[in-house]
Amino acid sequence: MRLVRNFLIISLCASYGKADVISDLYDALHMDRINEIIRLEGIQDAEGTGEAYLPPNSVDRFVAQAKSVYQLEAMERDFKRLLTQNLSIPDANKILLFYQKPLGKVASELEVSARIAISDAHIEEMAKLKLKEAVKSKNKRLDEIESVIRTLELVEQNLIGAYAAQFAFMYELSKLGVIELSKQEMIDLITNDEEKLKSEILEWLMAFSHMAYTPMSDKEFSDYSDFSKSELGIALNKALFRFTMRWRRISLSVLQVYWENS
């Protein structure tokens, strides 16, 4: 009985310890600011979708449903849960330790600031222009940026995410009767221009990364690239990708709620 009681105490302490680490990591990555952007973009997407596919008198209700889905407290809980499920305690501690160091703090702040900025279409275009200038001037950092993107399989992950979101979106529209396509027709339509989409994804990732890391010194940039391509960096990226994929799926519940109440 004593052994069982001791095991329970150890297990509970481990759970609380991991919860603390995950909470600290959430703060270190500035995920509260990222979630605000995801929420804003989700609501903006809902506005565009409503205006494109729904009767004018239904748009406000559709947008209101989007706002009810994108609740920041729920997003925070979900992110922490997914990190808890996908990172071991030792890995979570090591990743947190990195982001508590000066380089980690600089990197997370630069990435979040760039992510917020590039959500503006004008800033995105400017970032792409700056990327073209960097290509012309043969900026040596671009090869390393592309190496990180390749190691983390960011193009493939974003392609899968885009396809999954587009298919689920079209499927919900078909249930609403807005479009009449078979599942195979949807797949064919979505995957029709794969190479173009991959090129666009790579361009965006390169433009974002170039903009985000420009303020870094060469030493900082090199060290951060090494971390990003390490086992810890890859593990963190996979956890972040799962969070993004989950909220792409959750965003579709806006359409589902509308369909159920129509």
pLDDT for residue 36 is more than 80: yes
Q: Provide the token pair at 38.
A: 């995801």
* 86-99 mean pLDDT: 94
d(CA 173, CA 125): 30
Rg from Cα positions in the chain? 21
Residues in CB range of 245: below 8 A, 6 or more apart:
161, 164
pLDDT for residue 122 is more than 80: yes
Share the mean pLDDT of the chain: 86
- pLDDT tens per residue, range 72-83: 999 899 899 989
Predicted confidence at residue 141, as pLDDT, reads 96
d(CA 106, CA 30): 12
* 209-213 mean pLDDT: 98
Predicted confidence at residue 46, as pLDDT, reads 80
d(CA 184, CA 262): 26
User: Distance of alpha carbon 65 from its chain centroid, rounded?
Assistant: 22
pTM metric for this prediction? 0.84
- Torsional class of 30: left (φ above 0), alpha (ψ -120 to 50), beta (otherwise): left
- pLDDT tens per residue, range 165-198: 778 777 877 877 777 888 898 888 888 888 999 9
